[in-house]
C-alpha cells in the first residue's frame, strides 16, 4: 500500500488539510501522514517575476519526506512558474515521488475558504499525484489529467480520471477508488 505524506507550505489551514487528507484516503485507500507545516524558502522566489521557481521547490521538498517510498503531497500557498510558462498550478516528480500544488492561482475569485477553491485543490492534487504514478497529460477535457492552461480548464475538468488514465493506474498496481473514474476502464 502506498503511504502519503501531506504537508502545508507557507500557510496554516487545518480545514483544508483535513479535507485533502480525507480525500486522499478515499481516492487511494491509503494511509496519510500529516507533516508539520513549514515555510517555503524565500530565496527560491524569483524577484523579477515575483514567483517561486517550481523545480527548486520540488527538489527542496523531496527532503521533507520521512519515508522514501511514500508520496509527498505539498500544498504551497505561493505562485510558482517554470521556464516557458507564465505560471503553474502544480509540479510533480515521479522519481522522488513528490507532488506540489500551488494555491495562489487556485484562489481566484474564491479565497482560501471557498468551496470552488477546495474543489480546485482536489483536482490539482489528483493531477500531480497522477504524474507521480506515471500518468502523462490526457486529451479528455473532463479527465483530471488534462493540462490546465487556465483556471477555466481546472473548473471544467472533474476530480476523476478518465477510463484510460484510471485503467493505467489500476494496471500499474495502484489502488484507486472506482468512484474516481469517469467511466469504463479501457485497458
Ligand atoms: Zn500536468
Ligand atoms: Zn485521462
For 48-63, how does the pLDDT look when each residue is reduced to its tens digit (9 = 90+)?
999 999 999 999 999 9
CA of 80 to the centre of ligand 1 (A): 14
pLDDT, tens only, 93-149: 999 999 999 999 998 877 777 789 999 999 999 999 999 999 999 999 999 999 998
Counted residue by residue, the chain has a size of 187
Cα–Cα distance between 125 and 23 in angstroms, integer? Answer: 10
**Within-domain flag for 64:** yes
Chain position carrying cell 481546472: 154
2's grid cell:
502506498
Q: How many CB atoms lie within 10 A of CB 134?
A: 11
32's grid cell:
496519510
Counting ligands in written order, the one closest to the CA of 82 is: 1
**Within-domain flag for 180:** no
CA of 10 to the centre of ligand 1 (A): 22
**Within-domain flag for 159:** no
CA of 168 to the centre of ligand 2 (A): 9
CA of 142 to the centre of ligand 1 (A): 14
Looking up residue 13, the CATH number of its domain turns out to be 3.40.390.10
The answer to whether 9 and 74 are in contact (CB under 8 A) is yes
Counting ligands in written order, the one closest to the CA of 142 is: 2
Q: 157-179: buried (b, 16+ CB within 10 Å) or exposed (e) per residue?
A: bbbbbbbbbbbbbbeeebebeee
User: What's the number of domains the chain is made of?
Assistant: 1
Q: What is the 8-class DSSP label of residue 88?
A: B
Cα–Cα distance between 8 and 165 in angstroms, integer? Answer: 27
Q: What residues are labeled active site?
A: 128
**Within-domain flag for 173:** no
- In angstroms, how far is CA 87 from the centroid of its own chain? 15
Counting ligands in written order, the one closest to the CA of 145 is: 2
**Within-domain flag for 43:** yes
pLDDT > 90: what percent of the chain?
87
Q: Which residues pair with 73 in a beta bridge?
A: 6, 99
**Within-domain flag for 104:** yes
**Within-domain flag for 170:** no
pTM above threshold 0.75: yes
**Within-domain flag for 186:** no
pLDDT-based confidence at residue 12 (cuts at 50, 70, 90): confident
Domain with 102 in it: 4-137
- In angstroms, how far is CA 13 from the centroid of its own chain? 17
pLDDT of residue 89: 96
Amino acid at each position: 500500500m502506498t503511504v502519503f505524506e501531506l504537508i502545508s507550505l507557507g500557510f496554516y489551514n487545518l480545514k483544508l488539510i483535513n479535507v485533502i487528507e480525507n480525500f486522499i484516503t478515499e481516492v487511494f485507500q491509503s494511509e496519510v501522514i500529516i507533516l508539520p507545516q513549514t515555510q517555503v524558502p524565500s530565496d527560491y522566489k524569483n524577484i523579477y517575476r515575483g514567483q517561486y521557481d517550481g523545480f527548486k521547490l520540488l527538489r527542496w521538498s523531496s527532503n521533507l519526506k520521512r519515508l522514501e517510498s511514500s508520496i509527498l503531497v505539498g500544498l504551497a500557498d505561493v505562485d510558482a512558474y517554470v521556464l516557458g510558462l507564465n505560471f503553474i498550478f502544480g509540479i510533480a516528480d515521479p522519481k522522488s515521488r513528490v507532488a506540489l500544488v500551488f494555491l495562489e492561482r487556485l484562489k481566484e475569485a474564491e479565497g482560501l475558504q471557498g468551496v470552488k477553491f477546495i474543489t480546485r485543490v482536489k483536482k490539482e492534487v489528483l493531477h500531480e499525484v497522477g504524474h507521480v504514478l506515471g500518468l502523462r497529460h490526457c486529451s479528455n477535457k473532463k479527465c483530471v489529467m488534462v493540462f490546465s492552461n487556465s483556471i477555466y480548464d481546472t473548473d471544467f475538468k472533474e476530480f476523476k480520471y478518465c477510463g484510460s488514465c484510471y485503467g493505467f493506474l489500476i494496471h500499474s498496481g495502484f489502488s484507486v477508488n472506482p468512484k474516481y473514474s469517469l467511466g469504463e476502464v479501457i485497458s
